[in-house]
C-alpha cells in the first residue's frame, strides 16, 4: 500500500469520512503523510508509532507540557514529531509558533523542508486548506494565521523569537555526545537560550525526541531538574511494558513481554542480536536500549562476571560457567539463556581453550 487513497478504499470509507479521520487522528495522518512524502516506499504501521502519536496528541491538548521520547535509530521518530506532528498541529491552529532544533542546521533544514512540502501537498490542503502564507523560507516559514515554524541548530541565535512549542529532535550528534565539553555546551544553550523562548512558561510545551547517547546527555540533564513525561521504548523490552493507545476505535494498550523486539517486522530479535554483537556494549545499551551506562559500570560488571565464571570453573559447575560465557560473548541476559545454550557455550569454550593451548 503506497497511496493514501488506497488506504481509504481498503477501509471502505467515503472521502469525507477518511478526511475526518486524518484531521482527528494523528496516527492516521502520520501514515498518510509518509506515503505523500515518500511515494513507492512502504510503512509498516507499528504499535509504537501509535503510542508516540497518543503522547503528541496529549501535548496538543495541553495535557503534557514536558515530553521525552526515546526510540532506537530508524524507528520514524523524526517523521512523527518534527514533520507530521508539526504540520498537523499548524493545520489545527495556524497561529501556533514552533521552534524545531537539531544538532546541525543541515538536519534541521531537511526536516523543515519535509514539513513544508507536506503542507504544500494536495492531501494536506484538502484537509486543512491553504495554511502556508507570508514568509516561505525553508527554515523559517509562516502560516496564514500568523504562526511560524523555525528550524535552527543547537547553539543557534534565537533573539526576538518565541514559541508555543519547542521540539528538540536529535540535539546531540552521536560521536560528539561522548565529549563532556560539547554536552555541557548543549546544556547551557538549552538552559540559557532555548527555555527563555517559550511564550508562556507555564503553558508552553517542550518535546525532546532522541536516542540516548550518554548518561549525561540532554535527557539525563533535564531529568535532574524536574518532572518530565518519559516515553522510553528500548529495541528489546527489558521487562513487561504496557503503553496506552488512544484512537478512533477508543482506548487500547500496546503490551510487550521481556525480550520482545519493538518492531519485529522491521528488526527481529535475531537481527538485533546480530547488531548487538557488532557494536560496543555502551552503544547498544544507549542507542538501542535507551539505557545508557558508564564505562565504570561496564568494567565493574565484567569484573563480577569474571569472578563468578572463575568460581564456577573451579567448582566444576559447567552449566553456570557456560551461561556466564554465553552472556559475556553475546550480551544476552543470563536469565534468558537456556540450559542447552549454556552447555553449547561451554563446549565452545573448550574448543577455544584447546586451540589456544595448541598454539602456545
Q: DSSP for 261-311?
A: BSSTTTS-HHHHHHHHHHS-HHHIIIIITS----HHHHHHHHHHHHHHHHH
Share of the chain above pLDDT 90, in %: 58
Q: Is the dihedral of CA 310, 314, 315, 320 positive or negative?
A: positive
Q: Mean pLDDT over all residues of the chain?
A: 89
What distance in Å separates the CA atoms of residue 173 and residue 77, rounded to the nearest whole number?
16
Question: Is pLDDT at 360 greater than 50 in this prediction?
Answer: no
Using an 8 Å Cβ cutoff, are 235 and 194 in contact?
A: no
Strand 241-247 to 250-256 pairing: antiparallel
Question: Is pLDDT at 228 greater than 50 in this prediction?
Answer: yes
Q: Output the CA torsion 18→74→186→181 (10° steps).
A: 180
Question: Is pLDDT at 124 greater than 90 in this prediction?
Answer: yes
What distance in Å separates the CA atoms of residue 47 and residue 242, rounded to the nearest whole number?
11
Residue 314's pLDDT band, with cuts at 50, 70 and 90, is: confident
What distance in Å separates the CA atoms of residue 256 and residue 46, rounded to the nearest whole number?
13
Question: Is pLDDT at 351 greater than 50 in this prediction?
Answer: yes
Question: Is pLDDT at 300 greater than 70 in this prediction?
Answer: no
The residues spanned by each domain of the chain are 46-232, 295-359
Share of the chain above pLDDT 70, in %: 92
Question: Is pLDDT at 143 greater than 70 in this prediction?
Answer: yes
Of 3.40.1500.10, 3.40.50.300, 3.90.1150.10, 3.50.50.60, the CATH number of 46-232 is 3.40.50.300
Could you tell me the pTM of the whole model? 0.82
Over residues 21-75, the pLDDT tens digits come to 999 999 999 999 999 999 989 888 899 999 999 999 999 999 999 999 999 998 9
Question: Is pLDDT at 153 greater than 90 in this prediction?
Answer: yes
At 1 the pLDDT is 45
Eight-state DSSP code of residue 196: G
Question: Is pLDDT at 8 greater than 80 in this prediction?
Answer: no
Using an 8 Å Cβ cutoff, are 313 and 307 in contact?
A: no
Question: Is pLDDT at 2 greater than 60 in this prediction?
Answer: no
Query: Which of 314, 329, 323, 315 is CA-nearest to residue 343?
Result: 323
Residue 261's pLDDT band, with cuts at 50, 70 and 90, is: very high
Amino acid at each position: 500500500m503506497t497511496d493514501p487513497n488506497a488506504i481509504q478504499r481498503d477501509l471502505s470509507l467515503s472521502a469525507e469520512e477518511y478526511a475526518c479521520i486524518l484531521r482527528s487522528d494523528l496516527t492516521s495522518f502520520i501514515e498518510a503523510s509518509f506515503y505523500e512524502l515518500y511515494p513507492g516506499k512502504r510503512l509498516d504501521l507499528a504499535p509504537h508509532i501509535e503510542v508516540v502519536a497518543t503522547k503528541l496528541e496529549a501535548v496538543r491538548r495541553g495535557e503534557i507540557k514536558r515530553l521525552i521520547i526515546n526510540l532506537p535509530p530508524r524507528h520514524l521518530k523524526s517523521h512523527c514529531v518534527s514533520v507530521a506532528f508539526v504540520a498537523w498541529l499548524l493545520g489545527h491552529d495556524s497561529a501556533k509558533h514552533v521552534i524545531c532544533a537539531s544538532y546541525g542546521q543541515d538536519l534541521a533544514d531537511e526536516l523543515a523542508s519535509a514539513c513544508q512540502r507536506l503542507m504544500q501537498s494536495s492531501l494536506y490542503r484538502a484537509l486543512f486548506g491553504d495554511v502556508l502564507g507570508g514568509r516561505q523560507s525553508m527554515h523559517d516559514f509562516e502560516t496564514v494565521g500568523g504562526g511560524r515554524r523555525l528550524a535552527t541548530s543547537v547553539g543557534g541565535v534565537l533573539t526576538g523569537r518565541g514559541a508555543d512549542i519547542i521540539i528538540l529532535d536529535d540535539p546531540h550528534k552521536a560521536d560528539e555526545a561522548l565529549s563532556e565539553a560539547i554536552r555541557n555546551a548543549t546544556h547551557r544553550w538549552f538552559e540559557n537560550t532555548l527555555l527563555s523562548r517559550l511564550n508562556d512558561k507555564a503553558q508552553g510545551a517542550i518535546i525532546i525526541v532522541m536516542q540516548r547517547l550518554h548518561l549525561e546527555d540532554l535527557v539525563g540533564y533535564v531529568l535532574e531538574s524536574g518532572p518530565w513525561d518519559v516515553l522510553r521504548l528500548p529495541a528489546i523490552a527489558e521487562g513487561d511494558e504496557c503503553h496506552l493507545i488512544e484512537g478512533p476505535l477508543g482506548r487500547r494498550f500496546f503490551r510487550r513481554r521481556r525480550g520482545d523486539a519493538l518492531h519485529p517486522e522491521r528488526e527481529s530479535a535475531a537481527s538485533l542480536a546480530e547488531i548487538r554483537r557488532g557494536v560496543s556494549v555502551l552503544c547498544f545499551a544507549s542507542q538501542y536500549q535507551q539505557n545508557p551506562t558508564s564505562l565504570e559500570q561496564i568494567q565493574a560488571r565484567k569484573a563480577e562476571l569474571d569472578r563468578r565464571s572463575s568460581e564456577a570453573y573451579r567448582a566444576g559447575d559447567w552449566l553456570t560457567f557456560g551461561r556466564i560465557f554465553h552472556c559475556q560473548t553475546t550480551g544476552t541476559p543470563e536469565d534468558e539463556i537456556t540450559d542447552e545454550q549454556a552447555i553449547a557455550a561451554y563446549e565452545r569454550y573448550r574448543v577455544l581453550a584447546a586451540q589456544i593451548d595448541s598454539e602456545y
